């Protein structure tokens, strides 16, 4: 069967990664979490003390000069059955999910040179198709010719509750208000930055999963995939 590229975009914490992972499993495709790459570069900047305490600004010159020394990779973890993110050979999967990284990632993700490096890497991973990638600019910049583009949405309270649960389970000490504020601020930063702002591709198909179970969400996407494959 012909392999396709599936691009999944949407605001923070609306279930893109959960959906993308399930679709990749179902289709036996590669899953790539592009947000993990921006988080990895952010962690690198934090480790080098190039990020301000409030996470709002980053020492751009230092980070850009060091970009070539950042190597990001993904490796399958047989224990969790998922793929983990590595930064220069070190497993950073848990560390990049913390609020500390979430608070600083928008300042890093808006940098043109960072985006250029990561977009090139993302495009190289899609060369052989058979890939599901989720992020903010996958259908608009990374794969503007993707066979299927899905725009995922969910309402703010649902998104906040889901992300809060994830963070608490990971041991982050945080309040619901902090989580909501972080999601709102990332939505704003991601949508209003100069370089590849988050926006729905004109030819994307919408899935609002506010009131859908995970299974129903996957089914809606599988219907879109099957229709697309039949079309080709």
Q: What's the closest the beta carbon of residue 212 comes to ligand DC, in angstroms?
A: 19
Helix (H, G, I), strand (E, B) or coil at 11: coil
Q: What's the closest the beta carbon of residue 152 comes to ligand DC, in angstroms?
A: 11
> Which of 93, 137 has the CB closer to ligand DC?
137
Residues 6+ apart with CB under 8 A from 139: 7, 8, 9, 146, 149, 150, 151, 201, 203, 204
Tell me which residue has tokens 């592009």. Answer: 34
Q: What's the closest the beta carbon of residue 195 comes to ligand DC, in angstroms?
A: 9
Residues 6+ apart with CB under 8 A from 182: 12, 99, 102, 103
Q: What's the closest the beta carbon of residue 232 comes to ligand DC, in angstroms?
A: 25
> Which of 27, 135 has the CB closer to ligand DC?
135
Interface with ligand DC (CB under 6 A)? 12, 34-35, 38-39, 105-106, 109, 135-138, 186, 190
> Which of 92, 105 has the CB closer to ligand DC?
105
CA angle 157, 160, 165 (to 5 degrees): 125
> Which of 8, 224 has the CB closer to ligand DC?
8
C-alpha–C-alpha distance, residues 46 and 49, integer Å:
5
């Amino acid at each position: 069967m012909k392999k396709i590229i599936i691009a999944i975009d949407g605001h923070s914490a609306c279930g893109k990664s959960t959906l993308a992972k399930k679709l990749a499993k179902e289709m036996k495709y590669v899953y790539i979490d592009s947000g993990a790459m921006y988080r990895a570069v952010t962690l690198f900047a934090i480790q080098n003390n190039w990020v301000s305490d409030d996470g709002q600004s980053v020492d751009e010159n230092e980070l850009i000069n060091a970009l070539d020394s950042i190597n990001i990779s993904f490796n399958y973890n047989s224990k969790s059955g998922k793929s983990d993110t590595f930064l220069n050979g070190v497993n950073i999967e848990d560390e990049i999910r913390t609020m500390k990284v979430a608070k600083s990632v928008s300042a890093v993700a808006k940098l043109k040179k960072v985006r250029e490096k990561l977009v090139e890497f993302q495009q190289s991973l899609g060369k052989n198709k058979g890939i599901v990638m989720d992020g903010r600019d996958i259908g608009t910049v990374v794969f503007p010719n993707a066979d299927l583009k899905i725009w995922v949405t969910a309402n703010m309270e649902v998104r906040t509750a889901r992300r809060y649960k994830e963070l608490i389970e990971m041991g982050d000490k945080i309040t619901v208000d902090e989580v909501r504020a972080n999601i709102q601020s990332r939505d704003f930063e991601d949508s209003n930055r100069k370089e590849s702002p988050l926006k729905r591709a004109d030819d994307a198909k919408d899935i609002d999963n506010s009131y859908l179970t995970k299974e129903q969400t996957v089914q809606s996407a599988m219907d879109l995939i099957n229709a697309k494959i039949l079309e080709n």
